[in-house]
Amino acid sequence: DAKTTQPPSMDCAEGRAANLPCNHSTISGNEYVYWYRQIHSQGPQYIIHGLKNNETNEMASLIITEDRKSSTLILPHATLRDTAVYYCIVRVNTNAGKSTFGDGTTLTVKP
């Protein structure tokens, strides 16, 4: 499975959009981009995933570039509760698909 690169930390003002980038330049054509977040002392929580089209759900939006080498997770109106470590991973959607977590981006939402 391809690996990802994320900035180690980011800050965001409460109420503003948080845009978290992820580079996955070696992604294969059948690999999906998944985002998870981990709030302190909890297990990671699934946010969203996509293959090549932009995706949106009640938590966030996922923008994948046309060449699929990078993506951006957007939290449209960040709140203090969105402070967490955000992980971007790529994997195939098969039973043998493996999720390789990096060290993620620590997002701090400030009042």
| Beta-sheet pairing, 61-64 with 9-13 | unpaired
CB 49 within 8 A of CB 102: no
Per-residue binder mask for other proteins (CB under 8 A), 4-43, x = binder: ----------------------------x-x-x-----xx
At 42, list the tokens.
């909890």
Q: Which stretch binds other proteins (CB under 8 A): 17-25, 61-69, 70-78, 97-105?
A: 97-105
Q: How far apart are CA 77 and CA 48, in angstroms?
A: 16
Residues that bind other proteins (CB under 8 A): 32, 34, 36, 42-46, 49, 85, 87, 91, 93-104
